[in-house]
Structure 1
């Protein structure tokens, strides 16, 4: 079946999924996860889930329960090679929100923002030297990229190089990067007076983070935001990131 987990992919994450040791027998986790990936890739409403994946309520409830239990974060941390990420690239991309997703009160609390494209959400990401995701966050579409830089890099290993565009050229960001033992290879803005060490040759590889955004937007559930809740939309972004890592790990196994 399209979008279904292969045997090797399932073995990589089966032991990391949250499990309920007691109670009634569980529906097959692999079948449920395949249904969640089908919704992620197709962008279809959960009510249109094919019968081969079981009841749509089971997939949705399991998706939310695993999110609340931190399952998606644990899987992404477990399968990503964070310790080898000596080069880290940060950037963001804007996603247009569907009109049905933003029709809630106080939608600014759910990561919606009004920009030139209307109501939008920004996906912020850190990728390694191979363009594979290490950490993802979301914020309102009107929020400046530099405001999320520290939150993106916190918890990741230092001692390497950070690649980012001019939007991240701020003294506070450079100071934070230096405190982690890393070097911020960021092109200086025109109004910067202090001399900055910058390598245009190394900066050429920053396009890998743009390629990452292009790859996850193949998933229609991410190319357009249909989720009302920010936590659910971020969970789908993490699922798309997990799928990229699974395919890489499978090809190198």
Structure 2
């Protein structure tokens, strides 16, 4: 059995949130969620998901359906309990995309772009003073930090201080931060 992430205490709290967001309480719900978390943690292809989590295709289909319906984003927002907005930190990080990941037949942006490293996506993340995520934007890897910053800063509630590296150093971003009442 692969290592699991959720203790009984954490699962009891997460299960309540899942049920509040119209996720059906099937008997295998916990092991399915564990399978999703395992796959996100280790980065394996869905087909290589250990059989202890159930049929890989079933876990993938649920994950995909929940993502498409916006349920994961709503769960993410529900987990933000009492954030500390005294300081907010911004930064971006690249995630390498598989060579066959680009070119899907879809009208929506896949957030995959060409950068020095090949096909990449970039995660622009804001965390609170505890280091817990409070907002994020996902763009193609060719999008720099100061281009994605206005949308990320606009998602932030009344932070006292916003801290970022020099990738966010532009006068327009500083003005936006001041207009929101932060330093």
Kept in 1, the 8 Å contact 2:137–2:152? The answer is yes
CA shift digits 1:33-69 (9 cap, x unpaired): 0111121122222222222211122211111122123
Q: Is there any run of 5+ residues in structure 1 with no aligned partner, and where?
A: 184-253
- Cα distance in 2, alignment partners of residues 83 and 108 from structure 1: 31
* Corresponding residue for residue 15 of structure 2: 14
Kept in 2, the 8 Å contact 1:16–1:74? The answer is no
- Where in structure 2 are the equivalents of 1:198-209 lying within 5 Å? none
How far 1:16 sits from its partner (Å)? 1.7
Cα distance change on mapping 1:146 and 1:111 into 2, 3 Å: same
- Where in structure 2 are the equivalents of 1:118-133 lying within 5 Å? 118-133=118-133
How far 1:7 sits from its partner (Å)? 0.8
- Where in structure 2 are the equivalents of 1:1-253 lying within 5 Å? 1-17=2-18, 18-19=21-22, 26-81=26-81, 83-102=83-102, 104=104, 109-183=109-183
How far 1:80 sits from its partner (Å)? 2.2
Cα distance change on mapping 1:159 and 1:65 into 2, 3 Å: same
SS at match of 1:114: strand
- Cα distance in 2, alignment partners of residues 97 and 159 from structure 1: 33
Q: Which has the higher helix share?
A: 1
Question: How many pairs were matched up?
Answer: 180
Q: Is there any run of 5+ residues in structure 2 with no aligned partner, and where?
A: none
Cα distance change on mapping 1:2 and 1:12 into 2, 3 Å: same
What TM-score do you get using the length of structure 2 for normalisation?
Answer: 0.85
How far 1:14 sits from its partner (Å)? 1.0
What TM-score do you get using the length of structure 1 for normalisation?
Answer: 0.64
My pick for the range that moved more, 47-56 or 107-116, is 107-116
How far 1:139 sits from its partner (Å)? 0.9
Root mean square deviation, CA, Å: 2.4
SS at match of 1:33: helix
